[in-house]
Structure 1
Amino acid sequence: MARRLMHAIRGGGPTGLKHVEVPVPTPSNDEVLLKVEATSLNPVDWKMQKGMMHPSIPGIDVAGEVVDVGPGVKKFKAGDKVVSVLTLRNGGGLAEFAVAKEIFTASRPPEVSAAEGAGLPVAGLTAHHCLTELAGIKLDGSGQQKNILITAASGGVGHYAVQLAKLGNAHVTATCGARNIELVKSLGADEVLDYKTPDGAALKSPSGQKYDAVIHCATGIAWSTFESNLSANGKVIDITPSLRGFMTLALKKLTFSKQQLMFMLLNPKVENLEYLIKLVKEGKLKTVIDSKYPLSKAEDAWARSVDGHATGKIIVEP
């Protein structure tokens, strides 16, 4: 019997995307089959497509409804609403259906919409990891207050990082474009700098704070700009490492400074995704949605992401 077909977006490498009809995937032993309700785009999606290795169907952040499960799946059944992070190698979010590993899938309560949930996996988990594992912030607010700088604070990772840092009792200085200053303030930032102004470009805290950690979500900022603004043991956590960054790291290792440059590589943990979903349910964390596109206009969503000026998350809905 012929397998059912679905509408999907196939990655065309650096040359673009293609609308195709392909068979609905079949879940393996430890997978669930989802009817995709929302997918959010991340820069890693289009960066992967430009490289030698990329998934056939892009998209790794998905929210949807379970329609089938593999024989080894214990946690989920048909009808369950979930959020999942797909593997970079396989992807599959830009389609009507996708398969997800049970171990990377979390339940989504009715209070959390598909679009809100779909924004969380890559961006939310990145912000969570940077703050808790690398910056040492305790999100229950029980730790010592730290001064945190978040660059590109209105972007996907940045807007989550601002909110989570405030839950952790941090003093937050943030940078963004002038049009997003009020938004970033509303997310809890104590100080907001327009990155195009002299003080913003210099990353100078208006209150004279030295930063214990920088969640660096922007690009093109030299180490020397951070160095003068860091505390003695301050660290810069770079989520988009570059060749220049690796050279800076090598040079830093030759000095006696206690300041650090660190690179962030995401290792998704479902318990952290469940925690973020719980925060959204409780109204303690908000997914800012830049725009929504139907799957038929996925190339427009893609172009919006490549442009690099989205406020919050870009959502694609079948």
Structure 2
Amino acid sequence: MAELMRAVGYREDFLDLELPVPEPGEHDLLVRVRAVSVNPVDVKVRAGSGEPKILGYDAAGVVERVGPAVTLFRPGDEVWYAGSIARPGTNSELHLVDERIVGPKPASLDFAQAAALPLTALTAWEALFDRLRLTATSTGTLLVLGAAGGVGSILVQLARQLTDLEVIGTASRPESHRYVLDRGAHRVVNHREDLAAALPDGVDHVFSPHSAGMVETFARIVRPFGAVVAINEPPHLDLRPLKSKSIAWHWELMFTRALYDPTSTSQHEILTQVAELVDKGVLHTTLTERIDGINAANLRRAHAAVESGSAIGKTVLAGF
């Protein structure tokens, strides 16, 4: 069984249906999916697609079969991954994924807890350590917008545990404020208020999942030679206000590896390191809501939660 998405505007956005079991390619794993999570990218792809499409970009499950060139995994291995937007999604009982973007599931987490993390952990890791090029000895101040969200809640943990940065998160509600502090932020400011007034000394780095209308604010609060890393792409974005301070702007899309560097094992290595950090108790799952049953009705419910814009952490669906 697989969940099939129809484009927004159809009478039924989601359908349950049967599809043939796919055959693994050279480097593919055929994974029996045990849990998936819903991310903003699921909603974005659903809204922008005019054709039926299997969604899902997070999964935890068990390897059922492997392709002839696979070397990293074997049948029976428990795995987690974020998949590729160029292939059918993870909202299916059996799913094909390239072994080079898959990691071993943390032994200390169940499948639902694990499924909350791959896409957001990869995005956060690449944003911090590939785009911003931060290291264990990096200092200064990092501002994390939307720190109670899926990416923000793991990025705060990574920055706090693996760098010497002061980590400031943004949140607007008491419950999200507490959640961000519990993830390790040094302090929290309200992103609905004047950030320049709340941060009079400025910051060195900004992580931005919500960049529309924010460039002027970034130009005010980011110190000279600082940097912003963004994961969204609002139309008509004008970055010229950043020039006088030589502020760098970076884009982060964790699907870039699968799209343009398919032989790289970078994401396999990142997910392996993250799993080790989870099993050591350094990082923690960001699961906040579990829904039992991966089916069209429950996916519709999970998408609605993400679309609300007020979700804390991650919503996960487990079991068929």
Q: Deviations over 1:182-234 (max 9, x none)?
A: 111111111101223x34x54723xx432111001234442111221111112
Instruction: Name the CA distance, whole Å, in 1 between partners of 2:8 and 2:108.
Output: 38
Look up the match of 1:183.
Answer: 179
Matching of residues 238-257 of structure 1 within 5 Å: 238-245=230-237, 248-249=238-239, 251-252=240-241, 255-257=243-245
Percent of matched pairs sharing the same residue: 28
Mark the CA change 1:93 to 1:62 in structure 2 (over 3 Å): closer, same or farther.
same
Look up the match of 1:236.
Answer: 228
Look up the match of 2:39.
Answer: 42
Look up the match of 1:4.
Answer: none
Instruction: Name the CA distance, whole Å, in 2 between partners of 1:234 and 1:124.
Output: 23
TM-score (norm 1): 0.88
Aligned residues between the structures: 301
Instruction: Report the AA paired with residue 308 of structure 1.
Output: G
Q: Tell me if the contact between 1:40 and 1:314 (Cα under 8 Å) persists in the aligned partners.
A: yes
- 1:271 is displaced (CA, Å) by 0.9
Look up the match of 2:314.
Answer: 313
Secondary structure at the aligned position of 1:116 is classed as helix
Mark the CA change 1:31 to 1:277 in structure 2 (over 3 Å): closer, same or farther.
same
Runs of 5+ unmatched residues, structure 2: 258-266
Look up the match of 1:193.
Answer: 189
Q: Tell me if the contact between 1:216 and 1:236 (Cα under 8 Å) persists in the aligned partners.
A: yes
Instruction: Report the AA paired with residue 316 of structure 2.
Output: I
Aligned partner (choices 88, 95, 98) of residue 98 of structure 1: 95
TM-score (norm 2): 0.88
Q: Tell me if the contact between 2:6 and 2:52 (Cα under 8 Å) persists in the aligned partners.
A: no
Look up the match of 2:3.
Answer: 9
Q: Deviations over 1:136-161 (max 9, x none)?
A: 321xx3x2312000000000100011
Instruction: Name the CA distance, whole Å, in 2 between partners of 1:191 and 1:62.
Output: 32
- 1:252 is displaced (CA, Å) by 4.8
Instruction: Report the AA paired with residue 217 of structure 1.
Output: P
Q: Tell me if the contact between 1:85 and 1:121 (Cα under 8 Å) persists in the aligned partners.
A: yes
Instruction: Name the CA distance, whole Å, in 2 between partners of 1:97 and 1:66.
Output: 9
Instruction: Name the CA distance, whole Å, in 1 between partners of 2:288 and 2:197.
Output: 25
Aligned partner (choices 84, 109, 112) of residue 112 of structure 1: 109
Look up the match of 1:60.
Answer: 57
Secondary structure at the aligned position of 2:8 is classed as helix
Aligned partner (choices 255, 262, 266) of residue 250 of structure 2: 262
Mark the CA change 1:203 to 1:129 in structure 2 (over 3 Å): closer, same or farther.
farther
Secondary structure at the aligned position of 2:227 is classed as strand
Mark the CA change 1:166 to 1:54 in structure 2 (over 3 Å): closer, same or farther.
farther
Instruction: Name the CA distance, whole Å, in 1 between partners of 2:125 and 2:119.
Output: 10
* Structure possessing the higher relative contact order (Cα contacts under 8 Å, 6 or more residues apart): 2
Instruction: Name the CA distance, whole Å, in 1 between partners of 2:83 and 2:57.
Output: 4
Instruction: Name the CA distance, whole Å, in 2 between partners of 1:270 and 1:221.
Output: 35
Runs of 5+ unmatched residues, structure 1: 1-6
Aligned partner (choices 133, 137, 141) of residue 136 of structure 1: 133
Q: Deviations over 1:119-142 (max 9, x none)?
A: 22221111111111222321xx3x
Look up the match of 1:291.
Answer: 289
Instruction: Name the CA distance, whole Å, in 1 between partners of 2:88 and 2:312.
Output: 24
Matching of residues 74-93 of structure 1 within 5 Å: 74-93=71-90
Q: Tell me if the contact between 2:122 and 2:271 (Cα under 8 Å) persists in the aligned partners.
A: yes
Look up the match of 2:18.
Answer: 21
Look up the match of 1:218.
Answer: 210
Q: Tell me if the contact between 1:92 and 1:98 (Cα under 8 Å) persists in the aligned partners.
A: yes
Q: Tell me if the contact between 2:60 and 2:80 (Cα under 8 Å) persists in the aligned partners.
A: yes
53-62 vs 286-295, which deviates more?
Answer: 53-62
